[in-house]
Amino acid sequence: MYTEKVMDHFTNPRNVGEIEDANGVGEVGNASCGDIMKIFLKVEDNIIKDVKFKTFGCGAAIATSSMVTEMAIGKTLEEAMELTNAAVAEALDGLPPAKMHCSNLAADALHEAIKNYMEKGA
């Protein structure tokens, strides 16, 4: 059902945790399936220097959260805003159709964290 990459990011998630002095935080959730994702950013000179996540959800939700953090580190805010949920799923070599909409919210959480950073005028 899940690709090898999805299983790897689920069983060995990258960048799990919280950034105490995060300057951008985004949270999204899907009430119908219970997945909740929170992304923490550390931005310096318009570059994402660090990203951490906390996710409550299924294996696909954890895997997509892990993958989006890997994809975002080192990118400018503009580049990170161009990351899509479809690109995250593609980087994981695909997700089952039933998981695309409920579990693949990672890019949305990243975008919310970037918007939060920008609203603060940091």
Active site residues: 33, 102
Q: For the chain, how big is the Rg over CA atoms in Å?
A: 13
From residue 19, alpha-carbon distances to 22, 26, 47, 62 in Å are 5, 12, 16, 18
Show the tokens assigned to 117. Answer: 């950073």
Neighbour order of strands in the sheet with 47-56:
24-30, 35-44, 47-56
